[in-house]
Structure 1
Amino acid sequence: MGLRLSWCASLRTHDFPAADYEALRQRLAANTPFNHLGWLRAAEAALQPGQLLQVLLGHQDGKLCLCLPLVREREAFGPLGLLVVRHLGHPLSDRIALLIDLPPSAAAKVLRTIRRDLPHALLQLSEVPDDVAGDGWLRRWARRSSTFERRLTCSVPVHRITDADRQEVSGDPRYKLRRARKRIAACGAQVRRVMATPENIESLLDAVSAVEAASWKGDDEVGIFSGEQRRQWMYQAFTALAAQGLVCLVLLELDGRCISYRLGLLERGRVYDYNLAFEPAYRDLGSGRVLLEALIHWGLDEGWEWIDASRVSLENSSHQLHERMTDHIEQWRLSCYSWRLDGIVLGLALRCWQWLKPRLRKRQTALPDATANSPQESPNAIPGHSQR
C-alpha cells in the first residue's frame, strides 16, 4: 500500500489519532519534550488571529508514519507581507524532531502536498538537531527549493551524568560554587527538588513566573511567561507534561518563598534545562551554579543520563553548563523557498544579502583602520600644512 496523505485542522479534536501519534513519537529516538502532544496542543491553543494550523498526516500500511503540524501566517519582509509556514511551537520550542518515519523517496510527494495545499513563499523549520538536519529527507527538499538555507542557530552544551559528578567540579567553577554555597548558607536560603504533579504544578508555576516577572526577562518582556499568550501556553503545556512526570524543578527558597529556580523537562533519561531566573535582589548569591549542580546530583540519584542546555545564544553564550560540557548538539534553521514568484524573489534577496554582507563588514572594518592611519592635525596646525 502506498503513502496516503491527509490534512487535519486541529490536534485537539476527538478524531485526531492521538494514540497513533504517540506510537509514532515513541518510535523515533530523536523526539523531545517539545514533540509531546500536550505541549503542541497548548501551542495550538495559544495561536493568534491570522495564524492557520494544518496538520499533515501520512499513513502507510494502515500505520501513522508522518505528522507535521504546520502553521501558516503572513510575515513582514520589508514593505511586503509574505506567507510563511513553520512547525507548530515556534518560537518557544527549543528543539523539535520531525516526526517522519518514511524513506527519503517520499520527500518529494510530501513537499508537493504542502506547497499545493498551504501555498507559501517560505517553509522554515527552526531548532532542528544536526542528526535530522543532514538526512536524505531535507537534502531532497533542498533540491526542490528555489533557494535553500541551512543556518546554525546554536551549539548546545550537554553533559553526560556519571559517578564522577559526585566529586567536586575542578578549576575556577569549584571556587565559584564554594562562594555561592557560603552566601546561600549565610542568608538562610535552601535548595529544594520538586517533581511537578497535576496537584502542585499551578502553584509552582505561580511561584516561578513571579520570579521571572521580577527579573530582567520580565522587564524586557522576553520571558516564557511574558504576555497572556505565552503564559497561557506555558501553564497548559507544563500541566500536561507534569501529568506524565516530565517536569522537574530545583528551587532556591528563602523563608518558604522562591527567589531563584531552574525548570527542567525530562525525556528518555535526558533533562532539558529549559528555563531559569532569579530575583534581582539576590543576584549576588550566584545561585545558578548551585541549582545546576543540584539538578546534576538529582540526575545521579534518578539515573538520568544527560543534562542538556536546551538552547543557548549562538555567540557569547553565558550558560553555566559550558563549564561542565562533555559534548554539544548543533541546532539548525532550515529554510525552503518555494518556486512561487514571492518565494523566488525572497530567495534571491537572501542570496544578494549573503553576497553583500561580508563586503559591507569588510568595508566597515577597513574604515577605522584608514582613519587611524591618516595624518592627524595638531590643534595649532595651519590649514593646508602637515606637521612633522
Structure 2
Amino acid sequence: MSELVLRSEIIDDPAQFDALAPHWWKLWGQSTSATPFQSPAWLVPWWRTFAPGDLATVAVWRGGDLIGLAPLYLEHGNTGSKLLPVGISLSDYLDILCAPGIEARVLAVIVEKILSIGWSQWILPDLPEGGAGLAIAHPDLKAGLPTTHGPCPVLAIAGDETLAGCVPSRRRRQLRRAFQAASRRGRIALSSAGGNPQTFLDQLIRLHEARWAGHGGGVLADVAVEHFHRRSLPLLDAHGLVRCWLFAIDGRTVGAYYGFHHRGRAYAYLGGFEPAYADESPGAILIGHAIAESIREGAREFDFLRGQEAYKYTWGAVDRWTMRRVWTRS
C-alpha cells in the first residue's frame, strides 16, 4: 500500500474559508461525529457575522480531497492569545472533522500545524460524545483533564408517532389537554415552514421576543444573532437539515419551532410562542409534533440540546454531557 501523503495549511483569509464549502460538505458527510453545527452552512455564516479574532483554520488534504478540518480562530487578550473554535457560544456541539479510518493520522497533522501558530491556550468546549477532539494527544501539548462542559438532555425514541413508546404518560396527557384547549380557542393548524426560511424567521423572531419580553429579550434580541440566522437558515434548509414548524389558531401564528434532523437524530434548537396563548401550550404542541415527525423519519434520538430547563425532562429526556478540553504548550 502506498504511503499516505498529507498536506496541511493554515487558512486565515475569509475568502478561502468560504471557498472550502464544496470540499467541506463532502468531509462533513463522511465524518462520524459531525452534527449540523459543524457544517459550512452553520460555521461560514457564523464567521461572516461575528469574526471576533484572526481566522486560523487548519485544513488537511490528501490530493484534492479535504480529509481534516479544524475551524479555529485566534482571540487576542492581555494574557496572551487563545485558540478557539469557530462557532463558539451559539453552537451546541463543536469538534474537528476527520475522514473515517484515518482519524489519528489526520489529528496528528492538525496538531503539528496548530503548533506553528502563536497561542498560549487552546480551548475546545462542547465536544460531543465520541468527538475527534477528545482523542488529541501530542508531546508538545500540556493537556488538562477533560471536564464536563454542558448537559444536553436527550430523549431515546421508540414506538410510533403516538409517543407512547418514549414519552411519559403524564406528558402525553398534558399534550392532549393542550390540543383540546387550543381547539376550544379556535381552528388549529400545524404547518411546515421548510422552503420559506426568511418568512419563518420573521415569525420566530416575533414570537421569541414576545416570549422573552421583560426577561432579557432572549437570544434573538441581538441584531448580530438575527443576521447570523438569516444567513445560515437558508443554507441549512437547502441541504435538507432544517425542520421548522408553525402553529396557528384561527389563522394567527402563535408558536414556532426551529430544529434539525441529521443521521437519525432530531435536534430542538429554538422556539417561541405568544404569551397570550400560554394556556394552550403552543410550545409543547410543537415539540410533541416535532418528536412525532422525527419518529416518522426514523430518528433514534431527540436532542433538546444544551441547558437543563425543567420542561425537557418532562418529555423523558436524560442528560448527556459535552466535554471541554484545554491545552497549553509543554
Structure 1 distance, partners of 2:284, 2:5, is 53
Moved segments of 4+, more than 6 Å: none
2:134 is the alignment partner of 1:145: no
Secondary structure at the aligned position of 2:119 is classed as coil
The 5 Å alignment of 1:47-196 reads 47-48=50-51, 51-60=53-62, 62-75=64-77, 80-101=78-99, 102-105=102-105, 107-117=107-117, 119-132=118-131, 135=134, 137-138=135-136, 140-141=137-138, 144-166=140-162, 168=164, 169-188=167-186, 190-196=188-194
Specify which of 246, 264, 273 is matched with residue 241 of structure 2.
Answer: 246
1:203 and 2:219 correspond: no
- SS in structure 2 of the partner of residue 215 of structure 1: helix
2:306 pairs, out of 308, 311, 329, with 311
CA-CA distance at 1:26 after TM superposition: 1.3
Select between 85-94 and 66-75 the one with higher mean Cα deviation. 66-75
Deviations 1:65-115 (A, max 9, x none): 21111121135xxxx453221111111111134202334355455324213
1:323 paired to 2:315: yes
| Residues 28, 154 of structure 1: alpha-carbon distance in 2 compared, 3 angstrom cutoff | same
Matched, 1:267 2:262: yes
List per-residue Cα deviations over 1:143-199 (Å, max 9, x = no partner).
Answer: 6433514221223232343334425454422332233222212222624131411xx
RMSD: 2.7
> Which residue type is aligned with residue 283 of structure 2?
G
Of the three residues 334, 341, 345, the one matched with 2:325 is 334
Match of 1:237?
232
- Say which is worse superposed, 279-288 or 268-277, in terms of deviation: 279-288
Is there any run of 5+ residues in structure 1 with no aligned partner, and where? 340-388
How many equivalent pairs are there? 323
1:276 corresponds in structure 2 to: 271
Contact 1:208 1:258 in 2 (8 A): no
Task: Quote the Cα distance in structure 1 between the aligned partners of 2:199 and 2:115.
Answer: 44
Rounded to whole Å, the distance in 2 between the matches of 1:81 and 1:221 is 33
Greater helix fraction, Structure 1 or Structure 2: 1
Structure 1 stretch 25-34 or stretch 106-115: which is displaced more?
Answer: 106-115
CA distance in structure 1 between the aligned counterparts of 2:73 and 2:214, rounded to whole angstroms: 27
1:28 is aligned to 31
* 1:99-142 Cα deviation digits (max 9, x unpaired): 0233435545532421322x22221112111212685x32x15x
Number of the residue aligned with 2:22? 19
Partner of 1:258: 253
State the distance in 1 between where 2:110 and 2:163 align: 51
Paired-residue identity, %: 22
Quote the Cα distance in structure 1 between the aligned partners of 2:26 and 2:191: 31
Residue 44 of structure 2, aligned match among 23, 41, 44? 41
Partner SS state of residue 272, structure 1: strand
Displacement of 1:6:
0.7
Give the TM-score, by structure 2 length. Answer: 0.86
Q: Secondary structure at the match of 2:19?
A: coil
- Higher Rg: 1
Q: Do the aligned partners of 1:190 and 1:252 also contact (CA within 8 Å) in 2?
A: yes
Q: 1:192 to 1:217 in 2, by over 3 A?
A: same
The answer (yes or no) to whether the contact 1:11–1:55 under 8 Å persists in 2 is no
Q: Which residue type is aligned with residue 173 of structure 1?
A: R
* Gap regions ≥5 residues in structure 2: none
- Secondary structure of 1:65's aligned partner: strand
How many angstroms apart in 1 are the aligned matches of 2:53 and 2:18? 22
